[in-house]
Structure 1
Amino acid sequence: MDTEGTFDSRGTHRNPPHHPATPPPFPAPLPAPPVGPPPIAGPPSYPHQAPSPPPQPSAPPPASLPEGLPPMPPSPATAPSGARLSLIDWLRVPRTEAAPGVWTYGYKPKLPEDPDRIPGRRLLSGALIAALCGWLFWSLLWNGYLGNYWNWPLYLLTPDSWYERGGNTDAGWWAQRVYIGLVWVALGALFGRIGHWDEVWRRYVAPLFRRAWDDPGSSPAPTNPQADPAQWPELRAAGAHSAADRLAEEVRAGRMNDVDHARIQRGWQVVRAGRESLAAFTDTVLRHGAAAHGHPSGARDLPARTAEHDLVAHQVRIGTAADDLRNPYQHRGVGLALDPDVLGTSLLAVGPAGAGKTGRLVRPVVEALCLQALARQVAVVAVGAAGSGLGADEAFDVVVKIGRPESAYDLDLYGGTNDPDEAAGVLAEALIGDMAASLPGGDSRRAATALAQLLGPYRAAHGRFPSVPELRELLDGSKAAVGALREALDAAGQSAQARELDARVRQAGTPGDVGALLADRIALLDRPVFAEFFNTGGDRRPFSLRALEHPLRVRIDLPERGHVEASRMLARLILAQFTECAVGRADRSLFACLVLDDASHTITPEALRGIQRLRSANAGAVLTLRTLDDVPDALRSALLGAVGCRMAYAGVTTWDGARFAEVWGTEWVEARDVTDRQIIAEEPFTKVLHFIRKVVTGKAVTTQSVTVRKVERERWSASELAHAVPAGHAVLSVTSVRGESGPPVLVDLRA
């Protein structure tokens, strides 16, 4: 969306500040030692391209893509410099098991919450006022404004001769100093207790001393090599000591980056799953080192990174949980992140234009998925309007720019299938899925049947599916087009398909026929700007979502400007094809994710059923909406129930907030009713103590009567979501594919 990220603060797009958890970049090329790292391979060669020069003997041959996949452009091997941690230190940072959505890099769970904990501002101000009062009281004593009565215990316990001429004055001098010290200790204990100095020490001073002893620049090596992740203990435990030694040397020499580490870990998982032998894995590592098991593009990093990633935990950090009373105590101040484990339940983000859905959610998620695709763990398809900023062209293997002459790739309108019924069902969903409720029967099955009656005969006669102009003519019932198709079928001896065509001709023009409606909708794609696209026999190489079984990085630009309805139709087509292809994959070991930057008018009953099936197919979808009004009213609650991750941005309407409040439900909380009763002191000393406490705390001395009861209330009300979420914030709840769910948390997306 062109308007997304418009109001982002400066410095959020280019040259972002480096975070301590950012993994080290791939270093600059070094002189190659005898067993040094091979150079990064360039793009693979394909039959339709001119042959490329043979790679150097030490370089790993780039993995070849299966037949039918488009070639992938090379990516630079370097990343921005300036990371503060080496790869060894980054690997050794602990990643504690945490609730879904919590940033685990260096995460330490909090101690249980203390209900009587004093707020920090009140604690510090009270401690300062108590110190000033103590110093004032001591000054009054020392200068004699309160008389010399405070010295009577000293004179009572020591002989008078110590203070007379000719007596033991040295002993008297020391006795006075000891007595003054005891008075200081007594005053410190009194005013320290009033000002809670012990709590100030535990909360603020002691952590400073602990941090001063720690070295922030490195992590100590574990005493047990089997527990050191930089020594590849998994490989050593399996007996692959030579491969572990080679990889450990690559890490120490700085020839490996975080993507290389994640990619080789993926290769090791393939070995553990039994799909590759240990001997083949070891041989590849010994020959190619950090470049082993390379991505088909030959790239080992993205041209630039804008977000904070942890490829060990497969996470991308999107913000920090606000220190807000509405957030659960364990989440306050904790980093929040997304990973395939939660994206596998799909994510829906709702917020007005300019709220930051693209810049602070979609772009970091797409970047993280592209990095994991380079590690051969993910296949990602990012869909957005042209110029929406989902990433540079060099960060993707395939870039489909629909309606733009410079696009090297085309989009397969039929999803790469050879089955006319399957192609007809997906195409019918794209064409009239948004108006299926108004059709006879309440769904698009009749439209799919009408399309199948044309697609089947055409493929039987010509060996391919029709282009957009040809399909439009057939749907319009053109006698010339129908006659030519019938002659081709007769010549091919396809009598069964000829009967399908005759059935379509008989139904054309009858009451309830959807052919005319389909022709009107397909006409939106039969425009001059799309003349060179959706052509099954054109020069551009069509891209099909059947390639989701491979670690591809795909970006599809929709021609939203001037072609809004066509863009929505194509978005529905891509969503339908993705759900169909992701569920139908034979190999589901790769996580497949569709990121749809604007899902307006794409949610249909069939699309909703497809999204619900993604979770069991190791796939997920990320959808953004400006408002839930872009979804049919009957599907709004069902959509929020179908996705496991829900995100409401600042600025949502009260009506949208009511839907989120309903799906987040209620919780039992403790309500504390406190009744204060002022204490009237009678004794002079007690009056003095009460006066001091009133000066320190600013409140009179009272006794409290506390009544605690449990009440049920909404986690987030519609009014709070509409009016109490600050700008740059959002309320996020996540659910993992294992069924673990997290509470809705207020997230500062700028932190």
Structure 2
Amino acid sequence: MDTEGTFDPRSTRHNPPPPPPPQSPPSFPAGPPPMPPTAPLAAPGAPPVPAPAARPSFVAWLRAPRSEAAPGVWTYEHKPKAPEEPDRIPGRRLLSGALIAILCTWLLWSLITKGYLGPYWLWPLRLLNAEDWFNRDGDKDMLKWIANGYETLWFLIIATIFSRVGHWPEVWRRYVAPLFRRAWDEPAPEAAAAGRPEGDPVEWPQLRAAGAHSAADRLAADARAGAMSDVDHARIERAWQSVRAGSNSLASFTDTVLRHGAASYGHPSGARDLPVRTARHDLLAQQVRLGTAAEDSRNPYQHRGVGLALDPEVLGTSLLAVGPPGSGKTGRVVRPVVESLCLQALAGQVAVVAVGAAGAGLGADEAFDVVVKIGRPDSGYDLDLYGGTTDPDEAAGILAEALIGDMAASLPGGDSRRAATALAQLLGPYRAAHGRFPSVPDLRELLDGSKAAVNALREALDEAGERAQARELEARVRQSGAPGDVGALLADRIALLDRPAFADFFDTTGDRRPFSLRALEHPLRVRIDLPERGHAEASRMLARLVLAQFTECAVGRADRSLFACLVLDDASHTITPEALRGIQRLRSAHAGAVLTLRTLDDVPESLRSALLGAVGCRMACAGVTTWDGARFAEVWGTEWVETRDVTDRQIIAEEPLTKVLHFIRKVATGKAVTTQSVTVRTVERERWSASELAHAVPPGHAVLSVTSVRGEGGPPVLVDLRG
């Protein structure tokens, strides 16, 4: 299958050497590359790079429990919380009450046994028996046993009374019993792993169940020797899934594992890990941890204090994050997501395309297979302006969306169909005459109606005998210069890319390798740097181009086994009606998009509500405006909550003595004597109001709601992105 040069070694020279021929997987070192102790320095002006995240040992990570949880919950060592108890006594009050009850029990028992309360407590015993036991001739031993039993009975009565007052059973159930259970009932980690029904995951029980004992022994030995990483495990697990699906044979799988061990089925780049990790990842669940849900009353009980994470299951519904600069969208959301997707790409599970301004901090060059630096001479790759297609109509539609998609509403007809038709009338004849699409300067001349360019194209069509395409060209010539023609507008927009800074880019005849999003069928890691400084409008055009190409190529893939994700760090002025329709189609194509915005004002007003409705994951970062918060509050809806209204009513005394007491109390406290009445009601309120989103979200926090591709949704949760 053609990889379009995406897996070739990177080079900044022209005429790079051809890629090596396919061969068996290369041999790798025994273990994964060591993780540097510190993160690389950030580029000037870029956000600071977080410190590397600590990782547990591979065996401990693999044996850690992962329980079923709601979408977006970090499942690594997650323990579901017990059902909420509305009448649950707070821990501090429970322990203090139990301690006071113990002291009262001891004090009362001491007073009784030492005779400070007199002989009255012995009267029931005297009534039950004659004076024989209490005189000199009585049975002293019997009296001793009866007296001790009687004292014990009194002690149990007193302890029972104060245990009810001090809630001793609740203290035992909440604090003491769990200690005994952990000490006696929980086996050692090795014993627990060996006692699982499915066996120890380090021993690869699924391979043994299929009869591949030799392969399982080799992988288990590599895991215990420290030669296997979480990326290796995820990559081999995916290869095993292909065997179960019938795409690969068991014999071939076993042979490859025996020869290469943990390095089997390596990524074409040869990398087995990223140079540095800055976030917590769980490749077994394909999750990346974003933060911790705050212990806030506005958060649902089951989400308080738990970790929140993202995975392809929820990213498949697309994510929109809105927040002002400095709110943490790039450093605490986009970068961890890109890092997680790159790790999964190394495991052969994902194809990721990250788009952002140069120096945005999306990751080091070494973490990607393809780095397209538009406008920079050291870029080893070029961006295919036409998305790798050979269909002129498809190329014209994508290019029209990029050029004038943001202003399509102001065009006749309200969309870019006329612009796509005008482009197709030039792209089709040019490709028929030259076997390729025109470069940016050639396309600009044709759109401007240059007679020399049109005559040259007409002559080339005559020589090629393309009469049908010649008629298309003549139709474009007749429309050129007519009132309402979009050719002049397209020429002005394409002129933004016909600048000296982009002279070596978008050239269909150049020797720089063009990158096309048609390669999404491969586990690629791609980063596209936009020329932000001095070319803001061109950057927006290119962002729309990449978004249009991604939605078209992701939906049109023949093999959708890989999850494809586009991460657009700044989606300002890229959301158009056509782009919105493309985003809505991604879920069914096993693909998704991550979009960030400074404010919803960067989206046309008619599309703001539709955008929030099209994505399944929504995030409002700290510092959003009230009008942005109103949109989120509307899409998150309302819920039924129980409210308590407390009313203070002044007490009017009638008796003289009561009036005097009330007067003394008012002088002492400064407040009138009142009584409180509590009214409990169930009302419908917004989950998060616009004012709360704008003013009650602390710095470094965000409100996040997720939806899985299966349709299972989660409530909006206040999450601390710093935890």
User: By the TM > 0.5 criterion, same fold?
Assistant: yes
The offset of 1:88, in angstroms, is 2.7
Q: Equivalent residue of 2:697, what SS? A: coil
Per-residue CA deviations over 1:304-349 (Å, capped at 9, x if unaligned) read: 1111111111111111222222222222222111111111111111
Query: What is the TM-score with the length of structure 2 in the denominator?
Result: 0.84
Q: Of the candidates 334, 353, 357, which is equivalent to residue 362 of structure 1?
A: 334
CA distance in 1, matches of 2:470, 2:328: 54
CA distance in 1, matches of 2:334, 2:95: 41
Aligned to 2:45: none
Aligned to 2:514: 542
CA distance in 1, matches of 2:398, 2:308: 36
Aligned to 2:117: 149
Per-residue CA deviations over 1:57-94 (Å, capped at 9, x if unaligned) read: xx83489xxxxxxxxxxx97333589664323322222
Aligned to 2:720: 748
Indicate how the Cα distance of structure 1 residues 148 and 83 shifts in structure 2: closer, same or farther if over 3 A, else same: same
Indicate how the Cα distance of structure 1 residues 277 and 530 shifts in structure 2: closer, same or farther if over 3 A, else same: same
Indicate how the Cα distance of structure 1 residues 482 and 62 shifts in structure 2: closer, same or farther if over 3 A, else same: farther
Moved more, 434-443 or 233-242: 233-242
Indicate how the Cα distance of structure 1 residues 670 and 487 shifts in structure 2: closer, same or farther if over 3 A, else same: same
Amino acid in structure 2 at the alignment position of 1:77: P
Query: What is the TM-score with the length of structure 1 in the denominator?
Result: 0.81
Per-residue CA deviations over 1:606-628 (Å, capped at 9, x if unaligned) read: 00000001011000001111111
Moved more, 326-335 or 368-377: 326-335
Amino acid in structure 1 at the alignment position of 2:117: Y
CA distance in 2, matches of 1:503, 1:52: 47
Amino acid in structure 2 at the alignment position of 1:494: E
Does the aligned pair in 2 maintain the 1:732–1:744 contact within 8 Å? yes
Q: Of the candidates 36, 53, 60, which is equivalent to residue 25 of structure 2?
A: 60
The offset of 1:237, in angstroms, is 2.4
Aligned to 2:78: 107
Moved more, 92-101 or 406-415: 92-101
Q: Equivalent residue of 1:239, what SS? A: coil
The offset of 1:245, in angstroms, is 2.4
CA distance in 1, matches of 2:517, 2:246: 27
The offset of 1:386, in angstroms, is 0.9
Q: Equivalent residue of 1:722, what SS? A: helix
CA distance in 2, matches of 1:635, 1:422: 24
The offset of 1:174, in angstroms, is 10
CA distance in 2, matches of 1:44, 1:61: 15
1:196 and 2:167 matched: yes
CA distance in 2, matches of 1:173, 1:703: 55
Does the aligned pair in 1 maintain the 2:111–2:117 contact within 8 Å? no
The offset of 1:375, in angstroms, is 0.6
Amino acid in structure 2 at the alignment position of 1:577: Q
The offset of 1:657, in angstroms, is 1.3
1:466 and 2:438 matched: yes
Amino acid in structure 1 at the alignment position of 2:541: M
User: 1:638-653, aligned counterparts within 5 Å?
Assistant: 638-653=610-625
Q: Of the candidates 258, 271, 275, which is equivalent to residue 230 of structure 2?
A: 258
The offset of 1:527, in angstroms, is 1.6
User: 1:606-621, aligned counterparts within 5 Å?
Assistant: 606-621=578-593
Q: Of the candidates 504, 523, 526, which is equivalent to residue 476 of structure 2?
A: 504
Provide structure 2 residue ranges, at least 5 long, that are not aligned to the other structure: 1-6, 38-52, 651-673
Does the aligned pair in 2 maintain the 1:225–1:231 contact within 8 Å? no
The offset of 1:151, in angstroms, is 6.0
1:514 and 2:486 matched: yes
The offset of 1:484, in angstroms, is 2.0
Aligned to 1:585: 557
User: 1:133-148, aligned counterparts within 5 Å?
Assistant: 141=111, 148=116
Moved more, 124-133 or 367-376: 124-133
Indicate how the Cα distance of structure 1 residues 677 and 437 shifts in structure 2: closer, same or farther if over 3 A, else same: closer
Provide structure 1 residue ranges, at least 5 long, that are not aligned to the other structure: 1-42, 64-74, 679-701
CA distance in 2, matches of 1:504, 1:224: 72
Moved more, 420-429 or 651-660: 651-660
Per-residue CA deviations over 1:242-288 (Å, capped at 9, x if unaligned) read: 22222222222222111111111111111222222222212211221
Per-residue CA deviations over 1:342-392 (Å, capped at 9, x if unaligned) read: 111111111111111111111111111111101100000011111111111
The offset of 1:705, in angstroms, is 9.1
Moved more, 606-615 or 741-750: 741-750
CA distance in 2, matches of 1:175, 1:114: 45
Q: Of the candidates 300, 307, 310, which is equivalent to residue 335 of structure 1?
A: 307
Percent identical:
78
Amino acid in structure 2 at the alignment position of 1:464: R
Indicate how the Cα distance of structure 1 residues 703 and 285 shifts in structure 2: closer, same or farther if over 3 A, else same: farther
Amino acid in structure 2 at the alignment position of 1:49: P
Does the aligned pair in 1 maintain the 2:112–2:121 contact within 8 Å? no
Q: Equivalent residue of 2:455, what SS? A: helix
CA distance in 1, matches of 2:278, 2:133: 76
Does the aligned pair in 2 maintain the 1:76–1:303 contact within 8 Å? no
Q: Equivalent residue of 2:493, what SS? A: helix
Aligned to 2:64: 93
Q: Equivalent residue of 2:192, what SS? A: coil
Q: Of the candidates 33, 39, 43, which is equivalent to residue 77 of structure 1?
A: 33
CA distance in 2, matches of 1:208, 1:394: 48
The offset of 1:222, in angstroms, is 2.6
CA distance in 1, matches of 2:440, 2:22: 41
Q: Of the candidates 441, 458, 465, which is equivalent to residue 486 of structure 1?
A: 458
1:627 and 2:595 matched: no
Q: Equivalent residue of 1:459, what SS? A: helix
Does the aligned pair in 2 maintain the 1:674–1:704 contact within 8 Å? yes
The offset of 1:212, in angstroms, is 5.3
Per-residue CA deviations over 1:669-705 (Å, capped at 9, x if unaligned) read: 3446689999xxxxxxxxxxxxxxxxxxxxxxx9999
Indicate how the Cα distance of structure 1 residues 164 and 371 shifts in structure 2: closer, same or farther if over 3 A, else same: farther
